Amino acid sequence: MDSITQIALGASIAGAVAGKTLGRTALLTGAALGTLPDLDILIDYGTAVANFTQHRGFSHSLLVLAPLSLLIAWGLSRWQPQLPFRRWLTLVGLVLLTHPLLDTFTTYGTQLFWPFGGPLAINSIFIIDPLYTLPLLLGCAYFLIRPPAAKALALGLLASSLYLGWTVTAQYLITERVKPALAAAGLNDTALMVQPMPLNTVLWRATAINDDLRVEIVTGFFDGDSEITLEPFPRNSELAQSVSHLPEAQRLEWFTKGFLHYELNGQKITATDIRLGIPGAHPFTFVLAEVDGADLTPLPSGQLPRPAMNPAALPILWSRLTGRMPALCLGTLSAPLNGGDC
């Protein structure tokens, strides 16, 4: 999740655990601890792919954060001995461990058990979701005005947790909605990822892929019984195969579970993470190799600039979310021509 959400979650937990004893200091401590795992973004691992895939790695591992909680709690108990070590351990442990657990509900991928296993992603909540964050911020604001406000913090945590539960339920309902349409198109055996569109859990995006084809679906809870629109995007399996031996390509395949789009830009082969963003506005595209005739030269991976924000996107997405636009083609960010297919 975004930094503001993690700060608000950490502050809420710390205030609920130790607000009566520490006052506003509890919120500040929780906010600082809530941002600690994300400081790994300051580490340069050498290449763009390494930086991308190592984020949410060791610093988000429960196997690292659990013993680290003991060490930090011991140090804080020496700094503020009015709070016993066990209470400090409860505070620190809950703040540090809930950070990666919350991140796991997003799409990026969180290596909860680093160095064992791969990244986990439930995909049920967008990285920024005001309906999750706002109850936490309101509880913290009330605490700052009238500490210790334990009930306000508890209500904020309860509301955000219930909303997180709703995201999983909504994802399941949307998944069941799109499966028959994919089966009718002969795509029932493809890998499928279902995730919310930006800033909400009403409008959802489903992505199905096989070796040769990717299909995108945008559907939501205001669509009723309207027919689902499938938007096809070709996949270049030969281009993917040409770089499949490269460690950087293998790392990306592992991290994204194969949700990649390969393209030849001039003489350079690029790989785009199609899980994040939408077609035309995917933020993570990496250069892997250069082609000269039949020769392929691996390159130290670099990341292409992120696409510029399209100011027309938000009103279009809002129209689709509310159902005023019955279908949306992601490739063009517009309605299908003459009500037909994308």
Q: What is the pLDDT of residues 6-24, one digit of tens each?
A: 999 999 999 999 999 999 9
Question: Is 340 within a domain?
Answer: no
Average of pLDDT values for 66-73? 97
Residues spanned by the domain of 69: 3-121
CB 18 within 8 A of CB 91: yes
Residue 133 has pLDDT above 80, yes or no: yes
CB 289 within 8 A of CB 278: no
With H, G, I as helix, E, B as strand and everything else as coil, classify residue 16.
helix
* Last residue in a domain, options 67, 93, 121: 121
Q: Which two tokens stand for residue 91?
A: 């505070």
CA distance 141 to 139: 5
Average of pLDDT values for 163-173? 98
Question: Is 254 within a domain?
Answer: yes
Q: What is the pLDDT of residues 99-118, one digit of tens each?
A: 999 999 999 999 999 999 99
CA-closest candidate to residue 124, choices 175, 159, 158: 175
Question: Is 310 within a domain?
Answer: no
* Last residue in a domain, options 121, 154, 170: 121
Question: Is 175 within a domain?
Answer: no
Each as own residue / partner, the long-range contacts of residues 161-165 (CB below 8 Å, 24 or more positions apart, any chain) are 163/131, 163/132, 163/135, 164/102, 164/105, 164/124, 164/125, 164/132
Average of pLDDT values for 301-305? 92
Give the total number of structural domains in the chain: 2
* Last residue in a domain, options 121, 136, 171: 121
Question: Is 82 within a domain?
Answer: yes
pTM score, whole prediction: 0.94
Over the chain, what is the mean pLDDT?
94
What's residue 326's pLDDT? 86
